[in-house]
Chains A and B, each alone.
Chain A
């Protein structure tokens, strides 16, 4: 017997896909394929290898960008949270970066870094980094002061207070920033493929649209959403392994 949350998950998936199928059959638009057609296209692209070569392209800027954003973002966020001077120096940059409309900046990036991998990595970073930095810094700043005092009074070194008190205490919010950052990174990766040069999954989307092969287009979109969801789940698993205590205290399936 399946547990209740699992049943609910399956049920809601069925409802969404069912609605998609019905909407495709009416049809709401000539450019809107049914669920089954899209899945057929997805299977076809998977088996003839198109999808894998496409993701080989797409994942390069995505993974590099997310890795850079994670490492750099958490370090900068920590520095901002710990030092008022760093806050003064760096915070405005990331606040502006978060507010800036990315699509308008892409021509500038292309002018500076060309149409290659560098520009695309930049797009992913600009999307992913600000939220990671800002979440990390505010979480670090909001560490309960009595916990820090406790660390000092029991003779913890500054490094120990950071690694054993501040980071674990900030980790739930750091990870929620990472989740937001990673999903923004996915947006950035696809956006760069649509706006800079059509490669990878962006190419499938653009190309199938231009030849009116809508099932393939929707299959590509569906696959990238699926990948993003899987990636976020992976992140949650990593969080639970690294910071065992974080999932305590609230209900979760």
Chain B
């Protein structure tokens, strides 16, 4: 039974079309090669993690996909279109939240829409829906300094969701929140991937986090950064969330990734 399911999941994972693809990306900072000849595909509607030791260029790659950084050579395609800068099809969630400290939760969540020129009443209606969706109803008038770290990142997430981009780029979004909040976030992420028809690209340095939430894990190795392995956890993806961390496949993948990364961690 579990084997058929596994085979089926594998097949769907590979059949889905590609939402984002990077081809031969190189990025040099002066003489330092941050990324070298990196090619990677991100399937539509799934969550792909970029995992690797610090300094392996995961965030650089994410910012190139976002259009915030320009690659030295190579190209990024989102839905078949070449990326030349930030675009409406991508939204970014920042590691340090990047909230406006002088603006209320409502204005912060609606800020992406505000920059796109959406009228005030309309953007506040949309923002209100997403504030509710991330579980911050009642905090619309609060200011970022009145919220906990986890709640601040929910604001950042709501802002990214409200612009309705098809691709969500998350740069270590949960690294600045505490362990318990992080676990809750990870479960919420799984629900989000299941219910929103979006492609998620997720940078993390936590092996457990990557295996827990990803449909596809790209392991990057540093100096210069390259994709060393792509892992697609399949067996436990459709099971109950509470049992994932006990699943033998989950534990095996965590061990396997650690085995291949440990020599790169000083």
Binding site for B on A (CB under 8 A): 144, 146-147, 149-157, 160, 164-165, 168-169, 243-246, 248-249
Contact = CB atoms under 8 A, between A and B. Distances in A.
A150 B87 CA distance: 12
B1 interface: no
Interface in B85-141: 86-88, 90-92, 94-96, 98, 100-103, 111-112, 114-116
Interface in B64-93: 66-68, 86-88, 90-92
Contacts of A244: 102
By CB atoms of chain B within 10 A, which of A153, A165, A169 has the most?
Answer: A153
B185 interface: no
Contacts of B111: 154, 164
A153 B102 contact: no
Given A154-B163, A155-B87, A147 B145 contact: no
Chain B, interface size category, equals: 20 to 34
Q: Name the 9 nearest CB pairs between A and B, nearest first.
A: A245-B102, A150-B98, A154-B112, A156-B115, A153-B92, A146-B98, A154-B115, A153-B86, A249-B145
Nearest to B85: A152
B contacts with A: majority SS: loop
A153 B100 contact: no
B98 A155 contact: no
A244 B87 CA distance: 31
Nearest to A146: B98
B68 A149 contact: yes
A248 B100 CA distance: 13
A57 to B, nearest CB: 40
Given A146-B96, A245-B143, A153 B90 contact: yes
A155 B100 contact: no
A248 B66 CA distance: 33
B68 A152 contact: yes
A165 B100 contact: yes
A153 B143 contact: no
A165 B107 CA distance: 13
B129 to A, nearest CB: 18
A150 B92 contact: yes
Contacts of A146: 94-96, 98
Contact of B143 (A151, A165, A243, A248): A248
Contacts of B103: 245
A246 B87 CA distance: 31
A154 B115 CA distance: 7
Contacts of A168: 100, 102
By CB atoms of chain B within 10 A, which of A156, A165, A243, A245 has the most?
Answer: A245
A154 B102 contact: no
